[in-house]
Structure 1
Amino acid sequence: MAWIEMLQQAINYMEDHLLDEINYEDVADMIYMSSYEFHRTFSIMAGMTANAYIRNRRLSLAGVELMETDVKVIDAALKYGYDTPESFTKAFTRFHGVSPKYAKKQGTKLCLFNPLKIKISMEGGKSMDYRMEVKEEQRFICLARAFSNESINEEGNHEIPDFWDECHKANLVEVLRQLRPEGKKDLYGLCSPNQEGKTTFEYGIGVIVDDETKVFNQSEMELKGYRIWTTLKQQYVVFECFGENGDCISEAWIQFFKEFLPQMGYEASDHTDYEIYFENGKIGLFCELWIPVKKC
């Protein structure tokens, strides 16, 4: 349950420093967690990014202050982290549905966003389908791109799905699939572990390289933008994601954090996690999610 305690510490820290210049990286440092893992864990558990939480809390408090005091809009803007009254007004209106000047009028409806509190509730009592796998070193040939850590689970962010679409439309994925035999043209979505000091992670689209993969000229493939991605021997927990889109992957991550970790005595391991999109999968199966883990 240590990760739950860390998340509550993170929330407490954000609440204590709402009027300071902080972001999710500062919060991650405070709880001695990588910014990548904190951002992903918090956004999955809270349903929003840490930066969005800070922004919403500030705007909620700004609304209360404008309604209850004679503070000027420009002063409220500066107090709650906005460089100009115009940027504050835009954010305030988007959040509350009215501009700051109307918040001062009696009877105006404002949006209240209360602090998050993590509560331990009764879990279990229902099935949780998973399996454990150990994989030796694996090699993939893939297309990879760097993405901002902040893009993970950020509401409205479609950068990774857009990356898939872009690669499909340019026929780059089909080149990879042709390296594999019929019936085994499975695609992998590879997500790199966090690297200390980096604000980005890498996501790759590829196929596995094994004895059944056609021989290819690595240098020529690299000139075309492909690269080799290697994973070391690792234990994984595997979830089957059934659904019509990527929402089922998010649901599996929630199950991993809320049910698997607290009950099974494991913690996430700092290695590549990936999805497998099968050429011939089960009916309704969107993908399999492979998450690296280790015993606590």
Structure 2
Amino acid sequence: MLERLNQALDHLETCLEQEVDVAEVARIAAVSEYHFRRLFSALAGMPLPVYVRRRRMTLAGADVLAGTPTLLDVATRYGYGSGEAFARAFRSVHGIGPGEARRTGAVLTAQPRMSFRVVVEGSTAMRYRIVERESFRFLGRKARVPLAHEGVNAAAAAHVEGLDERAIVRMKELSSGPEPEGILSAAVYLTDSREEGAEADYWVGVATGPETAAGELDVLDVPAGTWAVFDNHGPYPAALQELWRDVFTQWFPSNPYTSRPGPELLRTRPVEVGAETDSQLWIPVERGPSRGVGQRLA
């Protein structure tokens, strides 16, 4: 698997002067495009398109400073149809426009190539089980919130505190179904980005039968599929945030599963910040190729 991941990044590097076929990159890595995007974002700390743009502008910066080709030639080389579009991309990475960089010899920003390497990790056991779940309907209330990797997510907490009493009563009435049972939270990611501040739909609700009447609640229909279920105990919310990180940086690279589209579900008992609590995280997965232990993005 390590070799395949490095081959995928090597192939990506050869495509920087043309449109990148992410499906082909994922094929070389032997995973789905969806999983490759999600895994890359979680491990690299940035979405794949951002990495591609930064790498392109790193190479373009060297061409700009060389002074030989015209700026339009440089823009065309890296797939930009106009000097204006190229200048915007250049400025987003380097903080100045290409014309100014060429005139002043300004210091530019370089994005190094990423590569995969073996890291000895996994000293802490992760308790999980695989569950096949029939389709269900998630009924509750949703709000769009920014991701927060550390500490309490203020926007998510405000959404919980703002739930009306009628909605809470209705959710409690429906909360005794098959697992995952009880009142849950669910995250539906709008893009493959897992960067701090990226937006997601945050739900509070219950998993019910696929034909349960919604009434005044919002509806999220979830198809049948496989779920990896992780049990967790620790201080809230730090232990959960560390669990989510470990699932993507350690569990996925060392197990024969890949992520698939679907909400990530969380059941936890409300407690004060820092207090110990038991939680359960449900991640939608599908069986994939086996992979070596301890591989992650350096």
Q: How is 1:239-254 mapped onto 2 (pairs within 5 angstroms)?
A: 239-240=231-232, 249=241, 251-254=242-245
Q: What one-letter code is carried by the residue in structure 2 that aligns with 1:177?
A: M
- Tell me how far 1:290 sits from its aligned partner: 2.2
Which range moves more in the overlay, 254-263 or 44-53?
A: 254-263
Q: What one-letter code is carried by the residue in structure 2 that aligns with 1:236?
A: A
> What corresponds to 1:276 in structure 2?
266
SS of 1:288's equivalent in the other structure is strand
List per-residue Cα deviations over 1:209-258 (Å, max 9, x = no partner): 38xxxxxx934x278652553545x5634053867769954x43442243
- Tell me how far 1:269 sits from its aligned partner: 6.4
Change (3 A) 1:144 1:62: farther
- The answer to whether residue 123 in structure 2 is matched with residue 132 in structure 1 is no
> Are 2:34 and 2:260, in contact at CA under 8 Å, matched by a contact in 1?
no
**Match for 1:112 among 95, 107, 110?**
110
**Match for 1:229 among 219, 222, 226?**
222
- The answer to whether residue 172 in structure 2 is matched with residue 174 in structure 1 is no
> What corresponds to 1:196 in structure 2?
none
> Are 2:167 and 2:217, in contact at CA under 8 Å, matched by a contact in 1?
no
> What corresponds to 1:288 in structure 2?
280
> What corresponds to 1:18 in structure 2?
16
- Tell me how far 1:186 sits from its aligned partner: 2.0
> What corresponds to 1:67 in structure 2?
65
CA RMSD after TM alignment:
4.5
Q: What one-letter code is carried by the residue in structure 2 that aligns with 1:276?
A: L
- Tell me how far 1:289 sits from its aligned partner: 2.1
Greater relative contact order structure (CA < 8 Å, 6+ sep): 2
What is the distance in 2 between the residues matched to 1:164 and 1:29?
39
The two structures have a TM-score, normalised by structure 1, of: 0.68
> What corresponds to 1:46 in structure 2?
44
Change (3 A) 1:82 1:240: farther
Count of aligned pairs between the two proteins: 265
> Are 1:186 and 1:279, in contact at CA under 8 Å, matched by a contact in 2?
no
- Tell me how far 1:103 sits from its aligned partner: 2.0
Change (3 A) 1:248 1:278: closer
Q: What one-letter code is carried by the residue in structure 2 that aligns with 1:255?
A: D
Instruction: Report sequence identity in percent.
Output: 22
SS of 2:115's equivalent in the other structure is coil
SS of 2:106's equivalent in the other structure is coil
What is the distance in 2 between the residues matched to 1:76 and 1:142?
52
> Are 1:43 and 1:50, in contact at CA under 8 Å, matched by a contact in 2?
yes
> What corresponds to 1:197 in structure 2?
none
What is the distance in 1 between the residues matched to 2:50 and 2:252?
25
> Are 2:35 and 2:258, in contact at CA under 8 Å, matched by a contact in 1?
no
Q: How is 1:120-269 mapped onto 2 (pairs within 5 angstroms)?
A: 120-124=118-122, 126-132=123-129, 134=131, 137=134, 139-142=136-139, 171=164, 174=168, 176-180=170-174, 185-189=182-186, 205-209=204-208, 218-219=212-213, 221=214, 225-226=218-219, 228-229=221-222, 231=224, 234=226, 236-240=228-232, 249=241, 251-263=242-254, 265-268=255-258
Change (3 A) 1:259 1:218: closer
The two structures have a TM-score, normalised by structure 2, of: 0.67
